[in-house]
Amino acid sequence: MSASQQDYRLSDDLLAPVLAILDAYQDPYLQKGLVSAGCVSKLDIEGKQLKLGLVYPYPCQTQYRDTVMAVTKKLAVLDAIDEVECEIDFQPANFSVVPGAQAIPNVKQVIAVASGKGGVGKSTTSVNLALALAAEGAKVGILDADIYGPSIPLMLGVSKFVPESPDGKHMTAATNHGITAQSIGFMLIDDEAAVWRGPMAAGALTQLINETLWPELDYLVIDMPPGTGDIQLTLSQKVPVSGAVIVTTPQDIALADAQKGISMFNKVKIPVLGVVENMSYHECQSCGHKEHPFGSDGGAKIAERYQVPLLGALPLKLSIREGADNGAPSVVSQPESNEAATYREIARKVGAQLALSEVQSGVSISVSEDE
């Protein structure tokens, strides 16, 4: 994790206790004190007002208020401080873990969302994760690379979008709900993609990613094609991915396929940021009773076996399907719901895992266009 620039203007007498108090405050996602995590960027004092600057390497805007209140309460025990004025910012690093992959202009980090098995809710998770990262203060794009069933245009309510090419080389992307979206679905005619061979599909998808006019993005979420075959493997080696999220349902067959997904990313040395268990349980709308139609704790077991975090569990719920199918996923249509809160928590965990697993920055090597 890159330490933010520090501008400390307190006397030594005051600096030491202030830093001690701030470092005793553990960030729940980085699991380090604020000072050790490199988040404290500025300290100054005017009279008895402490000016504190915090810079997070992951997006957590919805937590700012609680953090400021907690930190202010702790700092107020010092006689020299009556008041705290806190400025908080979010600055992710620019990095990829794929050597040799061509950097995507304007894109800092790429998150691949994958599932071993189709139909487990990978696209629903991708789109809600992208919207949740945006809700936490990040600039986000989503790339629908699911050549077998591109559903992001429908889920984001942009299915009528037709990309344009202002310079004859690059393509425009759609925008809605505050995020930018590109989809292989905008380019396909009928079932054309179903007959693509692995390298051909991976080549077309890599081209789509590199030729899209992305605005400045902190994160580009890629909704990968389901499965762990050639396309997924090639894509993972050609795109400058920073980390992967695995989506599964708790049933045995999906879990077995999710394990294949984890193994694939391990093989190409892409950090698996964690597992999302979708359709984890069903909650009765009238009595609140929880049932586990696909079995229970599968995601937790797989996370434990592969030593990766369980990022969150989403219920099988009508409103999740309706939101996605109607172009307004839960994070934007029902921001106060438990599901939206779970997706935002997953987004914070994903951002923090990326920050923790950052190993290098700014890889920028071009790749041959032989496909």
Ligand X SMILES: Nc1ncnc2c1ncn2[C@@H]1O[C@H](COP(=O)(O)OP(=O)(O)OP(=O)(O)O)[C@@H](O)[C@H]1O
Q: Which residue ranges make up the site for ligand X (CB under 6 A)?
A: 115, 118-124, 146, 149, 151, 226, 278-279, 314, 316-317, 320-321, 324-325
Output 55 or 147, the one with its CB closest to ligand X.
Answer: 147
The three-state (H, E, C) secondary structure of 251-306, written as one string: CHHHHHHHHHHHHHHHHCCCCEEEEEECCCCEECCCCCCEECCCCCCHHHHHHHHC
Which residue in this structure is represented by tokens 């193994």? 263
How far is Cα 319 from Cα 323, in angstroms, rounded to an integer?
A: 6
Does residue 286 have a known ligand-binding role? no
295 assigned binding-site residue? no
- 53 known ligand binder: no
73 annotated ligand-binding residue:
no
Minimum Å gap between C-beta 230 and ligand X is 17
126 in a labelled binding site? no
Reduce the DSSP state of residue 2 to 3 states and report it.
coil
Q: Which residue number, 122 or 139, has a Cβ lying nearer to ligand X?
A: 122
Is residue 12 packed enough to be buried (19+ CB in 10 Å), middle (13-18) or exposed (0-12)?
exposed
Q: Which is nearer to ligand X, 96 or 248 (CB)?
A: 248
Long-range contacts of 304-308 (CB under 8 A, 24+ apart): 305/259, 306/259, 306/262, 306/272, 308/246, 308/262, 308/272, 308/273, 308/274, 308/275
Nearer to ligand X, 119 or 229 (CB): 119
CB of 117 to ligand X, least distance (A): 7
Bridge-based pairing of strands 179-183 and 174-176 is: antiparallel
DSSP state of 195: G
118 labeled binding residue: yes
Contact 229, 235 (CB under 8 A): no
Q: What's the min distance (Å) between Cβ of 194 and ligand X?
A: 12
Contact 107, 247 (CB under 8 A): no
Output the smallest distance, CB 249 to ligand X, in A.
Answer: 9
Closer to ligand X by Cβ: residue 278 or 353: 278
Residue with Cβ nearer ligand X (123 or 228): 123
Tokens of 139: 């600039």
**Is 178 assigned a ligand-binding role in the annotation?**
no
Q: Which is nearer to ligand X, 92 or 261 (CB)?
A: 261
Least Å distance between CB 261 and ligand X? 12
Tell the residue number behind the tokens 């061509």, with chain if given: 102
Q: Read off the amino acid at residue 278.
A: N
In the complex, minimum distance from the CB of residue 148 to ligand X, in angstroms, rounded to a whole number: 6
Residue 286: how many CB atoms within 10 A of its CB? 5
Q: How far is the CB of 278 from ligand X (least distance, A)?
A: 5
Residue 117 annotated as part of some ligand binding site: yes
Residue recorded with tokens 């330490």: 3
Output the known binding site for ATP: 116-123
